[in-house]
A = this chain, B = another copy of it.
Amino acid sequence: MRRSDTLIPTLREDPLEAEAPSHKLMLRAGLIRRLSGGLYTFLPLGVRSLLRVINIVRTEMNQAGAIEVLMPALQPKDIWERSGRFDVMGPTMFKVNDRQGRTLVLGPTHEEVITDLVSREINSYRQLPKTIFQIQTKFRDEIRPRFGLMRAKEFIMKDAYSFDADWDAAGQSYEAMYQAYTRIFDRCGLQPTVVEADTGAMGGSSSHEFMIMADTGEDGIVECAGCGYAANLERAERKAPAGITFDNSERTPEEISTPNLRTVEEVATFLESPPERLVKTLIYVADEKPIAVLIPGDRELSETRLTHALGVSTLEMADDETIRRVTNAPTGFAGPVGLEIDVYADAGLEGYRGAITGGNRADTHLVNVDLARDAAVTTYANIVVAQDGDTCPRCDDVLRAKRGIEVGHLFKLGTKYSETFNAGYLDDQGKEQMLVMGCYGIGVTRTLQAVVEFSHDDNGIIWPGSIAPYAAAMLVLDPDDEAVARVASEIEDALAANGIELLVDDRDERPGIKFKDADLGGFPVRIVVSKRSIGQQSVEIKLRTEDKPIMVPVEDASAHLLGLLQA
């Protein structure tokens, strides 16, 4: 393809609209253009790489035994009401009114459609297992679309859904997808961190996220350099420190007047104490029962972990009235001493002595609290959000907080949707059973940009060969020179005969611009044919990842390039 025949509008300057490096580069290299907020047009280079990502995803999904379907983006409202997610999705789901005044939705995902379909078409154990996928355009009305394709209103996703006879079989389907995801991201040149996204009461891990580490990532995780353990901040475990003692004396709790001082920061400042010496007491209502939750003053509660630890299905903060009823005090002064409700404490508080807590009386706190002695803690459990510097729960090494881009997600759904849509089957005894489901997503357009985020330098993109829009760019520096034109054309033909298409920069531009654009575009190999190189009976060949070119004799050039590009 001649560069002048396609459309690759490059930009010298960073566009104002872009923050993330990958977003800047996708715009600058001419891969995408913004239509309006969160909506992007893929230009020819962008389409070529996108199609290569899609091809990798499709090949590996087929290889894993998944079968491909294509479901509509427009979906009737009623299936969303049936699953209860019409309200859950809220304004994130685009609604469309048709000419009859009926409401349709633009699918942000397809659990409802696929389970409804499967409930009609699968009815026997003989048809199991089935993993069904599609590569399709999704729509989400993001509050703040940003970073280009990272968080767009319209994006391409590979979504897959597995249907199995039981949990064991569902585990195998899950594992097959896990392996397929590993191969997909590997083929895309990415090195994802696989994050446990759900642990606790369900027993073992039932969800994994494939994350690409990047400063611009929107998801926080902790990762252990020692053993590789990695998890979402909200869901990560950490090894709690052993019983912390702030005061070794045997002094008993003593009331301190703290007028209007409600927050950890206010009280700690007033008492000239480090915040971690405070025990934050939060009153929650778990499955309609009020409970107290204790965490160190310098940590954040993970409601996800607490929910799992309690094994409850609903958990919400208590209102002021409930707090007053169970603590006899206004909000802001709750403490564990003397409470008559169940008390759940973070494992890091076990053995806490000399602590400061609320006093269960207005404008009052307690000092000299020994939790084991003074409070009736029902259970200690790991219920705070992990943070940088925490201890790894598996190997005692240090957890490091990082940011990541979620490119894939696997989830065990169980029978939630199959029960809603009555998606059952007859087992080999003729007995009706519910299908056990899993769902598996890959953000295809997001993965494309994640590759750029992961692999670039100051000069531009560095494509892996597997998804480069062109394997090589050939810069023809003196296109009017007969020998130059002939050699360039011979190389182009020789590669084309082997199914390799070059991007030939035939533009009437200065060499400097051609070099810059080739680097910016990130093509794995750069070939320069010029009067100078032909004068040396050579062409110049440089890998994007190397600093220096090599000169290859004209007669060996095609063979040399085939060696590089067919590898």
A559 adjacent to chain B (CB < 8 Å): no
Asked if A7 contacts B41 (CB within 8 A), the reply is no
Contacts of A42 in B (CB 8 A): 69-71
Asked if B71 contacts A41 (CB within 8 A), the reply is yes
Asked if B6 contacts A40 (CB within 8 A), the reply is no
A486 adjacent to chain B (CB < 8 Å): no
Separation of A42 and B136 alpha carbons in the complex (Å):
12
Interface size of A as a range: 35 or more
Residues 107-130 (chain A) with a chain B CB within 8 angstroms: 113, 116-117, 120-122, 126-127, 130
A250 to chain B, nearest CB (A): 59
Contacts of A474 in B (CB 8 A): none
Asked if A130 contacts B41 (CB within 8 A), the reply is no
A11 to chain B, nearest CB (A): 11
A403 adjacent to chain B (CB < 8 Å): no
Asked if B35 contacts A50 (CB within 8 A), the reply is no
Asked if A35 contacts B97 (CB within 8 A), the reply is no
A99 adjacent to chain B (CB < 8 Å): yes
A27 to chain B, nearest CB (A): 12
Residues 134-160 (chain A) with a chain B CB within 8 angstroms: 137, 139, 141, 143, 153-154
Q: Which of A88-96, A204-212, A404-412 contacts B (4 or more CB under 8 A)?
A: A88-96
A189 adjacent to chain B (CB < 8 Å): no
Give the contacting residue for A67; candidates B6, B70, B91, B126; CB below 8 A: B6
User: A1-25: contact bitstring with B at CB < 8 Å (1 yes, 0 no)?
Assistant: 0001111010000000000000000
A261 adjacent to chain B (CB < 8 Å): no
Q: A5-B65, A95-B97, A141-B98 are in contact. Are A154 and B35 (CB under 8 A)?
A: no
Asked if A67 contacts B44 (CB within 8 A), the reply is yes
Give the contacting residue for A137; candidates B9, B73, B75; CB below 8 A: B73
Q: Which residue of B lies closest to A508 (CB)?
A: B126
Asked if A36 contacts B76 (CB within 8 A), the reply is yes
A521 to chain B, nearest CB (A): 15
Count chain B CB atoms within 10 A of each CB in A41, A44, A48, A126 and give the residue with the most: A41
Separation of A98 and B508 alpha carbons in the complex (Å):
45
A72 adjacent to chain B (CB < 8 Å): yes
A106 adjacent to chain B (CB < 8 Å): yes
Separation of A69 and B154 alpha carbons in the complex (Å):
15
A16 to chain B, nearest CB (A): 15
A214 adjacent to chain B (CB < 8 Å): no
Separation of A325 and B4 alpha carbons in the complex (Å):
62
Separation of A73 and B127 alpha carbons in the complex (Å):
36
Asked if A69 contacts B44 (CB within 8 A), the reply is yes
Contacts of A67 in B (CB 8 A): 5-7, 44
Separation of A154 and B92 alpha carbons in the complex (Å):
21
Contacts of A50 in B (CB 8 A): 70
Asked if A121 contacts B9 (CB within 8 A), the reply is yes
Asked if A99 contacts B132 (CB within 8 A), the reply is no
A163 to chain B, nearest CB (A): 10
A201 adjacent to chain B (CB < 8 Å): no
Asked if B72 contacts A40 (CB within 8 A), the reply is yes
A483 adjacent to chain B (CB < 8 Å): no
Asked if B95 contacts A96 (CB within 8 A), the reply is yes
Contacts of A76 in B (CB 8 A): 35-36, 39
A287 adjacent to chain B (CB < 8 Å): no
A68 adjacent to chain B (CB < 8 Å): yes
A145 to chain B, nearest CB (A): 10
A141 to chain B, nearest CB (A): 5
Q: Which residue of B lies closest to A41 (CB)?
A: B71
New A-B contacts (6) at CB < 8 Å, excluding given A41-B71, A94-B98: A6-B67, A7-B69, A39-B76, A44-B69, A73-B73, A96-B106
Query: 7 A-B pairs, CB-CB below 8 angstroms?
Result: A9-B121, A33-B117, A35-B72, A35-B117, A41-B117, A42-B69, A126-B508
On A, residues with C-beta under 8 Å from B are: 4-7, 9, 33, 35-36, 39-44, 46-48, 50, 65, 67-76, 91-92, 94-99, 106, 113, 116-117, 120-122, 126-127, 130, 132, 137, 139, 141, 143, 153-154, 508
Task: Sort A-B residue pairs by CB-CB distance and give the 7 closest, nearest first.
Answer: A42-B70, A91-B99, A39-B72, A36-B76, A44-B67, A9-B121, A41-B71
